[in-house]
Structure 1
Amino acid sequence: MEILKEFQQKFNWCLDIETLLESSEFEALVLTDNNQNIKWVNKGFTKMTGYPANYTIGKKPNFLQGEQSSSKTRKIIRTQLQSGHSFKEEIINYRKDGKPYKCEIKIYPLKDESNEIVHLLALENALDI
């Protein structure tokens, strides 16, 4: 989690990342900029999805979505992202090998000292379908 501490210092996030991570259950972490371009993923993401970190950088997390990913849920996520608040949602995503899985996502907007959202942090867990 050292890399997240470095990001926190560089961008002056107001959220206490260390406390958040210590008090939360997750398999994967995904850090995006405020345009939802992936900046960093942890090893748990690679284990959960099969995609290596270098493949994901610069992509949007929706590259994991596919045929069974609910358009209604995608719309809810987009609306929630615009709200600027933390939220939790579940969506069907797809691993690199094409197998679907239910992904529980908790998204936290990361704001700087001027209260601007500069990044989003997703804590994710794979659930049985």
Structure 2
Amino acid sequence: MYLPWMVFWSPQYHFPWSGSVAQQIEPNLTAFFNGISPQSGDKDIERQAFDVASYGKQLGWLTEVVLGQLGRGQVDADTVEDALKGLEDTQQQVEALKLRKLKADMDRIGVLLETMKKDRPKEYALLARRLRDQG
């Protein structure tokens, strides 16, 4: 017998794993890349380079090239060529990333300098003199 006016007397229980379950599989590596010191490199470039080819992938290519060149292990010439191609492609992509970042930084610095020149001409002149003396 169904009594719709008694629906508040029928509670719903949700036990673990009963119902829709969503799980994010991709690891969050933000903390890892934030731990890179400025002296060691640019954390944004490192993250983008990691997206191009992970450290494990790069290390695997290097290992295949070295072992193939030394004639040790079971690394044939085709594997060495593929590894070299992977390294070269990765290097070109990372250089392109660095160039894009440099251009973006230069644009941002240009905007800041123009703003400083307009709003703070004395400080701008001091900075310009200091940069001329250094270079």
Question: Is the shorter-chain TM-score for this pair beyond 0.5, marking a shared fold?
Answer: no
Q: What TM-score do you get using the length of structure 2 for normalisation?
A: 0.25
Q: What TM-score do you get using the length of structure 1 for normalisation?
A: 0.26
Tell me which structure has the larger Cα radius of gyration: 2
